[in-house]
């Protein structure tokens, strides 16, 4: 496992690797879900590159960029057991030198759900991923379904720009009570963590109630009542996975191609997201 900080050095070292390369981009504060992505990467390619970079471009001015947990030493310790070939940890100045001025603009897929509450967020995500793909030149790049909208946007970017990389997705990795693992879970107080347990409860209620005759509004009401009053709901939505446009309350679930439930909530100031496919086997 080699630690590389400089983008040019990473690019050159990667070019000396023969065989296929799978890439796992992260913002660090690694947990078991990140490690599952790395395991998937190892199973699919000859070499694995992991990046650790808290990308300033994807945080709004009022968001937690400065507070975002950073602990590269413990990240490296966790990665050591899986031993990816390269770990890329650039600084913001290396990724965005003073005169950096080119950005990716995401279209409609980035406007709904998290995009409507975090203006510019997905442009920042797409820009850093395009730059990381250029540096790492991966054959495969692996993203978690926890950030489902991000995954769809990056699949679209790859399609639109004909990037020579295959995007693989990894299912959501959850705690024993069903809460999705997240670097932000470490912000949760014991009290907030208890409140967060109602998120997986809401998902399993939805899984039980989804039926061809159900309307979107009925399901959203089920989710709202399962979530209870212990959190601020940023959005609850059911949208087709194809366009991610939230469906109207009176739409029948069966009328949506590949219906999918999405939520974003804040518990004592910590923002959590989750999602669930309402087609197929779901959770
Ligand atoms: P992050 O460090 O939060 O930017 O996440 C890096 C990658 O790990 C992204 O592709 C995320 O979707 C993925 N990821 C984070 N948490 C989970 C989770 N609980 N299950 C699956 N993938 C996850």
| Long-range contacts formed by 32-35: CB under 8 A, 24+ apart | 32/173, 32/181, 33/144, 33/146, 33/170, 33/172, 33/173, 33/180, 33/181, 33/182, 34/78, 35/78, 35/79, 35/82
The residue whose CA has the least distance to atom 14 of ligand 1 is 144
The predicted pLDDT at position 211 comes to 80
**Average pLDDT by stretches of 10, the chain with 283 residues:** 97 96 98 98 98 97 91 96 97 97 98 95 98 98 98 98 98 98 95 97 94 90 95 98 98 95 97 95 51
Ligand 1: atom nearest CA of 143 is: 10
Q: Is 274 in the pocket of ligand 1 (CB under 6 A)?
A: no
- C-alpha 205/C-alpha 183 separation (Å) is 25
pLDDT for 57: 96
| Residue 34 falls in the annotated catalytic set | yes
172 lines ligand 1 (CB under 6 A): yes
Cα-to-centroid distance, 25 and ligand 1 (Å): 9
* Residue 245 CB-density burial (10 A; 0-12 exposed, 13-18 middle, 19+ buried): middle
Distance 14 CA to ligand 1 centre (A): 23
Q: How far is CA 104 from the centre of its chain?
A: 18
pLDDT of the residue at 281: 66
User: Which one of the listed residues 34, 121, 170, 260 is annotated catalytic?
Assistant: 34
Distance, CA of 188 to CA of 196 (rounded, Å)? 9
């Amino acid at each position: 496992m080699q630690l590389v900080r400089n983008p040019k050095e990473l690019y050159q070292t990667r070019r000396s690797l023969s065989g296929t390369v799978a890439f796992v981009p992260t913002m660090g504060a690694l947990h078991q879900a990140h490690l599952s992505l790395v395991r998937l990467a190892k199973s699919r390619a000859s070499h694995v590159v992991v990046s650790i970079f808290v990308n300033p471009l994807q945080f709004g001015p009022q968001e937690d960029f400065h507070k975002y947990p950073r602990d590269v030493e413990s990240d490296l310790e966790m990665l050591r057991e899986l031993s990816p070939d390269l770990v890329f940890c650039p600084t913001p100045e290396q990724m965005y030198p003073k005169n950096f001025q080119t950005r990716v603009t995401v279209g409609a897929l980035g406007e709904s759900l998290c995009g409507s509450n975090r203006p510019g967020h997905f442009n920042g995500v797409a820009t850093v991923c395009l730059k990381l793909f250029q540096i790492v030149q991966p054959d495969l790049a692996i993203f978690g379904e926890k950030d489902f909208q991000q995954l769809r946007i990056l699949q679209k970017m790859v399609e639109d720009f004909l990037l020579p990389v295959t995007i693989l997705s990894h299912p959501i990795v959850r705690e024993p009570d069903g809460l999705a693992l997240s670097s932000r879970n470490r912000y949760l107080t014991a009290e907030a963590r208890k409140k967060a347990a109602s998120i997986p409860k809401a998902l399993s209620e939805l899984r039980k109630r989804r039926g061809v005759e159900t309307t979107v509004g009925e399901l959203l009401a089920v989710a709202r009542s399962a979530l209870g009053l212990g959190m601020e709901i940023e959005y609850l939505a059911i949208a087709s996975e194809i366009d991610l446009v939230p469906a109207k309350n009176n739409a029948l679930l069966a009328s949506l191609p590949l219906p999918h439930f999405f939520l974003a909530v804040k518990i004592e100031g910590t923002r959590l997201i989750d999602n669930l496919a309402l087609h197929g086997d779901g959770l």
